[in-house]
Amino acid sequence: MPDQCSRETADPPDGEKSPIIGEARKIIHMDMDAFFAAVEQRDNPPLRGQPVIVGGDPSGRGVVATCSYEARRFGIRSAMTAARARSLCPQAIFVRPRMDAYREASRQVMAILRSVTPWVEPLSLDEAFLDVTETTAAGVFAVQIAKEIRARIEQETGLTASAGVSYNKLLAKLASDWRKPNGIYVIPPEHGLPFLAPLPVGKLHGIGPATVEKLASMQIHTVLDLRNVPREALITQFGKAGIWFYEISRGIDRRPVQPSRQRKSVGYERTFPENLGDRNIMLATLHQMAWQVSARLHALGLAGRTVAIKARFSDFHTVTRAYTGE
C-alpha cells in the first residue's frame, strides 16, 4: 500500500474546513454494505447467505432497521414494519440490534479512514465523506485510495464497503450507490453533467417526496428538466432552496468536508408521499427514525439532553413536543 494511505496524519484544528472548493477537490464517499446485517452475518456464520433482518419483533410493533441483500430481493427495506417484512419473506431470520457490536465495527472503519486523511466527516455509523485532495497531490489517484481503503476494511473487519469518488459530496454519494454492494464508481468532472441529467430529481440531496411532487406539477421529473428551469423561476417557487436546486442540477456542491463541527442538534426527518393514518405504522416509523438519530449520535461521539418530536399534518399544521432529562 502506498505511503499516502498508511502514514500517520494530524487531526485538523477544531472547526476548520476542507480548504479546497470546486472541481479540483477529490472527494470519496465510503458506505458500508448493509452494515448492521453484515456484522450479524460476520459474527454468526450460519446467517451468511440468509435473508437477515435486523429490527424489532415481527409479532409486535417492530420495525426493520436494516436487512441483508438476500432479504432486499424480497422487497424488504429499512423503516418497513417487521410484520410486513415477515409477510414478504416468511423464511427471513430476525435478529435484535446489537449496538455495541456495530459501534465497535464502526470505530475500526473510521480509524482506517482517518489513517488516510484527517479530512473525514462521519455521517452515521456506516458512512463518511473523505476529502483526499491533499493526499492526491503526491501523485496517487483518488480511485486508488478508495480501492485500498475498501481492501483494508475487508481485511481488518471482515466487512465490505462501497465507494463513490468525485469532485464534490453530491456526486460522490450518488456514485457510491451505483455499484452496490462491494463496488466502486468514479464520476470525473467532465462526466458530472451527463451522469446527473437522466436521474429522477428525487435522487438529489435535499429534494424529498413533497418537493418531488411539487416539481412534477411543474413538469419537472429529471435533473435535466430541473437544469432547464431559470434560476429566478426556482427562487420564486422555492425561495433560497431554489438556489440550491439550480446549482446541484448543474453538478455544483460547495459543501466542504467538515471533520469537526460544533453541533447543537442531531435530527432525522421524513416526508411521506401519502398521509399516514395507521397508528402502528406511525409508531414503527418513529422507532426507525429514533434508531437513525441514535446511530448518528454514536458516530459523532455525542449525547443529548433534550429529545424532541415534530409532526406536520396535511394542512401544514405542526405540533412539537420535547423532553429534557435531568
Residue 64 CA to residue 84 CA, distance in Å, equals 9
Q: Are 115 and 1 in contact (CB under 8 A)?
A: no
Q: Are 288 and 78 in contact (CB under 8 A)?
A: yes
Give Cα separations from 18 to 25, 257, 261 (angstroms).
9, 6, 12
Predicted structure pTM score: 0.78
Domains and CATH numbers, the chain: 21-32+101-190 (3.30.70.270), 35-99 (3.40.1170.60), 197-248 (1.10.150.20)
Cell of 246: 439550480
Active-site choice (70, 121, 127, 148): 127
DSSP state of 111: H
Q: Distance between terminal CA atoms of the chain? A: 50
Residue 196 CA to residue 266 CA, distance in Å, equals 29
Q: What is the DSSP string of 214-252?
A: HHHHTT--BHHHHHTS-HHHHHHHHTHHHHHHHHHTTT-
Cell of 244: 440550491
Per-residue pLDDT 10s for the chain (326 aa) are 333 333 333 344 444 444 445 558 999 999 999 999 999 999 999 999 999 999 888 887 788 989 999 999 999 998 888 889 999 999 999 999 999 999 999 999 999 999 999 999 999 899 999 999 988 877 889 999 999 999 999 999 999 999 999 999 999 999 999 999 999 999 999 999 999 999 999 999 999 888 999 999 999 999 999 999 999 999 999 999 999 999 999 999 999 999 965 556 777 666 665 677 777 777 777 777 776 677 667 656 677 778 888 776 765 567 788 777 76
For residue 30, give the H/E element and its range.
strand 27-32
Q: Give catalytic status of residue 127 as yes or no.
A: yes
